[in-house]
Chains A and B, each alone.
Chain A
């Protein structure tokens, strides 16, 4: 058991609560920094995708996990960022400015979607975001002159201060830098009053209002910020794939992002990363495991869908707090052994109509 002796408020406000945390995160960053030197190219590319998906997941986590506004059309922002950045980049705009442009335009789209969305709750919000997702995807498809429509759009390599980033390693470092910056921004936000306002809106809108939180303003900020971050992920995605088309930003991708945050752990920054690792590694694991399965199952086209579906169902049924939740339980068990009690993380049942038992 670790006892933290607190003498100063800044100890609670700091990001790393004790020396142990500092050690582990520094070690993680060090490993990530040297990864290109030790990992083969294919796995480095997968790691890059993990980082990109983690950023996209962070965006969705902000609006869904922390503010409680569930967006079923988030791939629209991914696409918004991807296309804006790709178009600006192909026009010769330097990478940082193109990235900011992508973030800004995605944020603007987030405001456009957020303003009507904040008037509705729950399933209606889901329907509104779903509808926006379809509409935005259709715009990508139909606006041929700008986006290339269904033929797709080739993306030129990023230009950074006159230096063209073409290799896998350079792409990796770029994504790593952007990921670290985005994560720090989100963590800072969450430990200050805006982040707390988001959590307040998620848990009880009525009392959030009574505490002086302007619901409309904060929901809009949440949507805009979430869209901007997912848009940044989209820009990186465009560079990594070097080719984007509208069908990459549709309902299936939106659901994949939702799966990411649910499996990772709703309401935590770690969850975005764990979910990204899951989403990228699962197809690899299925591909590896195919050889051990009988041909009828292993070769079938629907296997990946079944596995994803089963895992999603299993997590919702047995571990609603996601991978990060399971890790928290294990860690708590080890930390306070043998005093761990079974019901420590039990979630309160809640219903929309108060006169329900189950």
Chain B
């Protein structure tokens, strides 16, 4: 697949045109620039003696792509785990659409409209791709235990409706070929896409992507970039992501937050952050450290070389 244009499925709608789309499409210029969707205030997380997150604050505005960058161990995934409530912050608070999330149980988060992917893929290995995505529709279920045991008409209709939603996600991400395959046998790149698809199936307002391009080759990363842009512009979903690949970050992000050793280093547009002295030092060390390593011809490996 060339990197010149969007992948085949991106503009495709479901053939019958029926069923509500995954999320109301909204062109970017209509999004009010200042409306804050997610707000983290002075988040700190301590694991025993280790301070993994140190008083981190940031706002994610509706409709933007906000990226967390930083060296390994900077605490980025811990911030994600705090937002999806797998951990409870030692201090600090999280607000989503004005509501305080800090003590909400983890299973309520999806219902509120936050979905996430995991750094080390956490798919349901012994189920098919379709079943994984259908599990993503769990928060939209309308049937109870008894109507399901008797498989009433209501259950049947709910199943068909869930299936219609899920097929739209499959269309968007080109997973038709893998629909009935068991996840356990799929190649890594496909599993990353299934992880994304499952998060999209929940019909979220905010999507947390943890290193979406890790382990992907250049083509697959290109596809991922297009999908993230589609998610932002076509589906109107706000994206908060953790990423290491600087070219992807520059391509899709509206704003970037750089972290190091649990604390904030710099915040701003991608180019602002990538040129910030503190950020450069965190990634590469100070000028003095590397000058002796500088090769005569080629530039030092880093942000300049890729984009």
* Residues of A participating in the B interface, judged by any CB pair closer than 8 Å: 9-10, 12-13, 185, 188-189, 191-197, 199-200, 202-204, 206-215, 221, 225, 267, 344, 347-348
Contacts and interface: CB of A to CB of B under 8 A. Distances in A.
Nearest to A194: B148
Contacts of B106: 209-210
B138 A348 contact: no
A188 B184 contact: no
B110 A188 contact: no
Contact of A9 (B86, B126, B160, B198): B160
Query: Which interface residue of A191, A193, A221, A348 has the most chain B CB atoms within 10 A?
Result: A193
A29 to B, nearest CB: 18
A215 B108 CA distance: 11
B62 to A, nearest CB: 21
A211 B151 contact: no
A196 B163 contact: no
Contact of B134 (A10, A196, A203, A209): A196
A195 B159 CA distance: 12
Contact of B111 (A192, A204, A212, A347): A212
Contacts of A348: 125, 184
Contacts of A221: 145
Contact of A13 (B115, B138, B156, B184): B156
B136 interface: yes
A286 B163 CA distance: 49
Contacts of A214: 105, 107
Interface string B74-105: 00000000001010000000000000000001
A267 B127 CA distance: 11
A214 to B, nearest CB: 5
A194 B162 CA distance: 14
A214 B105 CA distance: 9
Contacts of B148: 188-189, 192-195
A210 B159 contact: no
Contact of A206 (B86, B110, B111, B137): B86
B265 interface: no
Interface in B108-125: 108-111, 115-116, 118, 122-125
A267 B150 contact: no
B123 A207 contact: yes
B107 A212 contact: yes
A197 B138 contact: yes
Given A189-B149, A192-B151, A199-B126, A211 B139 contact: yes
B84 to A, nearest CB: 6
B122 A188 contact: no
B116 A200 contact: no
B267 interface: no
Contacts of B122: 204, 206-207
B131 interface: yes
Give chain B's interface residue range (CB within 8 Å of chain A).
35 or more
A212 B164 contact: no
Contacts of A211: 110, 135-136, 138-139, 198, 202
A13 B134 contact: no
B139 A199 contact: no
8 contacts: A189-B148, A193-B138, A194-B145, A199-B131, A206-B122, A210-B116, A213-B138, A225-B145
Contacts of B127: 196, 199-200, 203
A211 B115 CA distance: 7
Given A12-B130, A199-B126, 17 more contacts: A9-B160, A10-B156, A13-B159, A188-B155, A192-B143, A197-B138, A199-B131, A202-B126, A203-B127, A204-B124, A207-B118, A207-B123, A209-B86, A211-B135, A211-B138, A212-B108, A212-B138
Contacts of B108: 212
B251 interface: no
Contacts of B141: 193
Contacts of A209: 86, 106-107
Nearest to B134: A196
Nearest to A13: B159
A196 B134 CA distance: 8
A191 B159 contact: yes
Contacts of B136: 211
A9 B164 contact: yes
Interface string B180-201: 0000110000000000001000
B124 A212 contact: no
B84 A188 contact: no
Given A188-B150, A193-B148, A212 B126 contact: no
Contacts of A191: 151, 159
Given A188-B149, A203-B126, A212 B159 contact: no
Nearest to A221: B145
Contacts of B137: 193
A193 to B, nearest CB: 4
A15 B275 CA distance: 59
A207 B124 contact: yes
A211 B107 CA distance: 7
Nearest to A201: B124
Contacts of A204: 122-125
B184 to A, nearest CB: 6
A203 B125 contact: yes
A185 B156 CA distance: 14
Contacts of A347: 184
Nearest to A215: B107
Contact of B126 (A185, A188, A267): A267
